[in-house]
Amino acid sequence: GESVGLHLPTLSVQEGDNSIINCAYSNSASDYFIWYKQESGKGPQFIIDIRSNMDKRQGQRVTVLLNKTVKHLSLQIAATQPGDSAVYFCAENGRYGGATNKLIFGTGTLLAVQP
Amino acid sequence: DTEVTQTPKHLVMGMTNKKSLKCEQHMGHRAMYWYKQKAKKPPELMFVYSYEKLSINESVPSRFSPECPNSSLLNLHLHALQPEDSALYLCASSQKSKTGAQQYFGPGTRLTVT
């Protein structure tokens, strides 16, 4: 049988649709946020980042929105393609007790693109 | 070159073995990291090296011993591991160790402890 904790939140979308992946972060002092894409058997791959003095940042087919009031981050992928199928992690990078570049990852979301 | 390389890709070891994982980057980055990732979980930080000195140890058991021989290389020495240490071990690097520096990840070493 399957165990609790072995299931990633999953977002299933049709090819060509837009995808929105959400993330809540924990530390209001965090000043830098990153979205990573991780395909099966590979390491995390940088997608886009945003600093806390911005609300929105756009890349190629991707947009990151930051709402500091509610500590929420989202990743929007336009015209989702089968190659976008992967696990997506948000990560926050804050000053934890003076520590330096320490990334804290969210739990991850599995994006499944249906052809 | 924006690549972090890791060797080996796969490693199977017994609980009494000693082995090492290797990581290399040639981007001139001065901060390097080891992460552990279990299946369907996010990466968890283990160690941070800044300018070849250990700056963060996230209370990792002593059976994991990191080493940074120079600014391009990072090793993780393994001894007397337990089956629960089986995981994907990821290396990363960043230009600097301060916040706001993008971390580049390698492909990882898939470790199985028998």
Q: For B28-78, what is each residue's pLDDT tens digit?
A: 999 999 999 999 999 999 999 999 999 989 999 999 999 999 999 999 999
B56 touches chain A (CB under 8 A): yes
pLDDT tens digit sequence for A27-54: 888 889 999 999 998 999 999 999 999 9
Cβ-defined contact of A43 to B4 (cutoff 8 Å): yes
Contact list in B for residue A107 (CB cut-off 8 A) is 41-42
Name the pLDDT band for A98 (thresholds 50, 70, 90).
Answer: very low
* Closest to A107 measured CA to CA, from B39, B41, B45, B89: B41
Cβ-defined contact of B31 to A42 (cutoff 8 Å): no
Contact list in A for residue B106 (CB cut-off 8 A) is 43
Contact list in B for residue A5 (CB cut-off 8 A) is 40
CA distances from A108 to A38, B4, B58, B67 (A): 9, 22, 21, 30
Name the pLDDT band for B95 (thresholds 50, 70, 90).
Answer: confident
**pLDDT (0 to 100) of residue A111:** 97
| B90 pLDDT higher than 90 | yes
**pLDDT (0 to 100) of residue A3:** 35
**pLDDT (0 to 100) of residue A4:** 40
Q: Give the burial string for A29-67 (b: 16+ CB within 10 Å, else e).
A: ebebbbbbbbeeeebbeebbbbebeeeeeeeeebbbbbe
**pLDDT (0 to 100) of residue A97:** 46
Name the pLDDT band for A94 (thresholds 50, 70, 90).
Answer: low
Give the mutation candidate from B25, B48, B99 for the A interface (greatest A CB count, under 10 A). Answer: B99
Q: Which of B4, B48, B96 lies closest to A102 in CB terms? A: B48
B3 contacts: CB under 8 Å, gap ≥ 6: B25, B26, B27, B104, B106
**pLDDT (0 to 100) of residue A91:** 94
Query: With pLDDT > 90 as the criterion, what percentage of chain A qualifies?
Result: 75
Per-residue pLDDT averaged across A89-114, rounded? 81
| A2 pLDDT higher than 60 | no
Per-residue pLDDT averaged across A103-107, rounded? 91
B79 touches chain A (CB under 8 A): no
Contact list in B for residue A41 (CB cut-off 8 A) is 107
**pLDDT (0 to 100) of residue B2:** 66
SS (H, E, C) B43-109: CEEEEEEECCEEEEECCCCCCEEEEEEECCEEEEEEECCCHHHCEEEEEEEECCCCCCCCCEECCCE
**pLDDT (0 to 100) of residue B99:** 67
Per-residue pLDDT averaged across A58-63, rounded? 96
Question: Mean pLDDT over all residues of chain B?
Answer: 93
